[in-house]
């Protein structure tokens, strides 16, 4: 397990929970995380740098830029190499260049909790959560049954590019809409004589702006690694906003109703599709 943070240590606990004899070693550069990971009982051994061993599987559970940097050495130590990053195009390109087409397992568990680091790890973190695999990488098919054994829900995407476009629309761009909603509210409050707008907020404001509270250190590299798809999503959102502004200026009630109805239709359709496939909304 290369990176013994929340995801890495939760995976290690899940592996050991299914098979207590499984050998799981960790590699962790942060001294504090190394101590916590060792204390977690998830690993037989936690190293501060790559050990001189060979493994069946190396998991890159580090941010995307670090995962790319460590991929060559990880591939020299293990039969299969999996990553768990939330952006897939850069690392899949690199894996192709390194001729790892049969051995690389691009994957993305969509799981987390409000904590950070090995102390927040939980062997049930992946239960009933989506774990995305990429269809055109054969090793994903080989390891799918093993991933499913964590009670996670396998979701297939056709390609790394399809994964990243989907993430821009359902996660990365959504995050930026939350950030933008909060900043615009703060900007308008600062430009008024307002003293108490925060007291006028309700559940809608709370939910839409919630993601803006996330720390930036995860998000900056993630957004940069997916900048093309995220930029396209934001452009589509700005086009919709300009159309809404046009409706308001022209007092075009019917056109505004069309925009709101289209959003409701889409939301209803997405919710129905998810429910009908047996997933929680």
Binding to a copy of itself (CB under 8 A): which residues in 175-234? Answer: 175-189, 192-194, 196-202, 204-216, 219-221, 223-224, 227, 229-234
Our finding on whether 144 is near a copy of itself (CB under 8 A) is: no
Our finding on whether 23 is near a copy of itself (CB under 8 A) is: no
Q: Which is nearer to a copy of itself, 31 or 216 (CB)?
A: 216
How far apart are alpha carbons 10 and 120 in whole angstroms? 8
Q: Which is nearer to a copy of itself, 22 or 257 (CB)?
A: 257
**Count of chain residues binding a copy of itself (CB under 8 A):** 99
Site mask for a copy of itself (CB under 8 A), range 100-139, x = bound? ----------x-------------------x-x-------
Least gap, CB of 179 to a copy of itself (angstroms): 4
User: Which segment (85-93, 117-125, 144-152, 266-274) binds a copy of itself by CB under 8 A?
Assistant: 266-274
Our finding on whether 155 is near a copy of itself (CB under 8 A) is: yes
Our finding on whether 165 is near a copy of itself (CB under 8 A) is: yes
Q: Which is nearer to a copy of itself, 31 or 206 (CB)?
A: 206
Least gap, CB of 54 to a copy of itself (angstroms): 34
Task: Select from 223, 125, 106, 242 the least CA-distant residue to 174.
Answer: 223
Our finding on whether 263 is near a copy of itself (CB under 8 A) is: yes
């Amino acid at each position: 397990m290369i990176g013994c943070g929340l995801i890495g240590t939760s995976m290690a606990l899940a592996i050991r929970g299914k098979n207590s004899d499984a050998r799981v070693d960790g590699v962790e550069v942060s001294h504090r995380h190394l101590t916590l990971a060792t204390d977690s009982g998830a690993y037989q051994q936690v190293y501060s740098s790559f050990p001189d061993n060979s493994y069946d599987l190396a998991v890159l559970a580090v941010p995307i830029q670090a995962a790319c940097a460590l991929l060559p050495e990880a591939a020299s130590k293990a039969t299969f190499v999996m990553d768990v990053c939330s952006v897939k195009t850069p690392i899949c390109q690199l894996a192709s260049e390194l001729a790892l087409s049969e051995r690389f397992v691009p994957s993305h568990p969509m799981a987390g909790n409000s904590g950070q680091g090995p102390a927040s790890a939980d062997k049930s973190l992946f239960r009933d959560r989506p774990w995305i695999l990429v269809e055109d990488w054969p090793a994903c098919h080989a390891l799918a049954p093993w991933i499913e054994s964590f009670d996670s829900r396998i979701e297939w995407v056709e390609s790394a590019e399809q994964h990243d476009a989907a993430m821009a629309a359902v996660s990365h761009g959504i995050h930026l809409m939350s950030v933008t909603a909060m900043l615009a509210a703060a900007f308008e409050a600062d430009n008024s004589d307002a003293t108490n707008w925060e007291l006028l907020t309700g559940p809608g404001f709370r939910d839409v702006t919630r993601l803006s509270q996330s720390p930036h250190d995860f998000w900056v590299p993630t957004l940069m690694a997916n900048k093309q798809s995220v930029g396209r999503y934001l452009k589509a959102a700005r086009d919709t906003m300009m159309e809404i502004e046009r409706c308001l200026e022209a007092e075009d009630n019917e056109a505004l109703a069309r925009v709101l109805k289209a959003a409701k239709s889409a939301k209803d359709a997405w919710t129905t599709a998810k429910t009908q496939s047996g997933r929680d909304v």
